[in-house]
Each structure stands twice: as C-alpha cells, then as structure tokens.
C-alpha cells in the first residue's frame, strides 16, 4: 500500500573513499511509479530530455541539478558532471532506458523497502541509487 508522501527526493552525496559522487533518488511506490512514467515518456519519444528541477513531484535537496537526456543510439551514456560540480546529465539510450524502467517498476511493485543501483558506466559517472521507503528526510541534510 502506498503512503501519502508521494514526493521523489534527490540528493548529491560525496562519499568517503570513492572518487565518484553518489546521487540518492528516494521515494515511495507512488513516487517511483511517477518516475517510471517519465522514463516511459522518454522511451516513447514524447520528449527527449527531462529536468528534475521542472518536475513538481520531485524535491531536490542541496545544490544538485540532474537532467536525463534520451538519445536513441548514444555513443556515450551514463551520469556525468555537466561542467559545474553539482550539475549532472544522465544520458540514456534505448537499452539502458528500458533496463532502468524495468528496475524502477520492479522496485515500485515490490513488497517492503529496497533499492536498486541504476548507473555507473565508468569511474567518472555518478552512482545513482534508487531507494524505496528506506530513508527518512534526515539523510538529505547531508546532501551537498
């Protein structure tokens, strides 16, 4: 059963012992289903990019700026810094978008809390962790 707090929360975290940052995307099943619908819109070519700052169902904590770009056949994909330390572009091609859509949907439909690792193509990529019902709002106080 989904809770009434249907906001998807995002935060950027610098992790001790890691060279790449981590991006936590956290919400309940309803928030994750909304995210799945947005990714599906990219796959169905209803749009070619999506900025979390423009989405009312998302709350970005700290100074993170994250945009998803969908490219039918990308030569380079993953989640990379976009020139400013806290700005990231997550490039998805057909294969990765469908894989991520499957992971989001599976997690949203699963019983109880859980998480999925979504994107690390190489050492320069941010690691994106999708979490369902695992974190309180307090964890985002450490977002940069």
Q: What is the CATH number of the domain that holds 68?
A: 3.30.1360
Look at residues 105, 108, 110, 74 and name the one whose alpha carbon lies nearest to residue 92. Answer: 74
Residue 93 inside a domain? The answer is yes
Residue 139 inside a domain? The answer is no
Model confidence over 31-41: pLDDT tens digits?
A: 999 999 999 99
Three-state SS for the chain is CCCCCCCEEEEEECCCCCCCCEEEEEECHHHHHHHHHHHHHHHCCCCCEEEHHHCCCEEECCCCEEEEEECCCCCCCEEEECCCCCEEEEEECHHHHHHHHHHHHHHHHCCCCEEEEEECCCCCCCEEEEEECCCCHHHHHHCC
Residue 53 inside a domain? The answer is yes
Model confidence over 19-59: pLDDT tens digits?
A: 788 999 999 999 999 999 999 999 999 999 999 999 999 99
Residue 102 inside a domain? The answer is yes
Domain count of the fold of the chain: 1
Q: Mean pLDDT across the stretch 69-89?
A: 85
Residue 89 binned pLDDT confidence (cut-offs 50, 70, 90): very high
Q: Which residues pair with 132 in a beta bridge?
A: 27, 114
Distance CA 59, CA 51 (A): 12
Domain residues for 90?
8-116+127-134
Say what the pTM is. 0.91
Residue 142 inside a domain? The answer is no
Residue 1 inside a domain? The answer is no
Residue 140 inside a domain? The answer is no
Above pLDDT 70, what percent of the chain? 93
Residue 141 inside a domain? The answer is no
pLDDT value, residue 1: 43
Statement: residue 124 has pLDDT above 90? no
């Amino acid at each position: 059963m989904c809770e009434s707090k249907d906001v998807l929360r995002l935060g950027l975290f610098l992790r001790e012992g890691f060279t790449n940052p981590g991006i936590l995307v956290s919400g309940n099943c309803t928030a994750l289903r909304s995210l799945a619908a947005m990714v599906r819109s990219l796959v169905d070519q209803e749009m070619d990019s999506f900025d979390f700052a423009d989405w009312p169902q998302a709350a970005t904590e700290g100074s993170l700026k994250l945009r998803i770009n969908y490219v039918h056949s990308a030569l380079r994909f993953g989640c990379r810094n976009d020139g400013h330390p806290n700005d990231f572009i997550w490039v998805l091609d057909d294969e990765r978008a469908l894989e991520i859509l499957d992971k989001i949907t599976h997690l949203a439909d699963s019983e109880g809390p859980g998480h999925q690792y979504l994107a690390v193509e190489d050492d320069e990529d941010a690691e994106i962790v999708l979490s369902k019902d695992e974190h309180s709002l307090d964890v985002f106080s450490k977002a940069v």
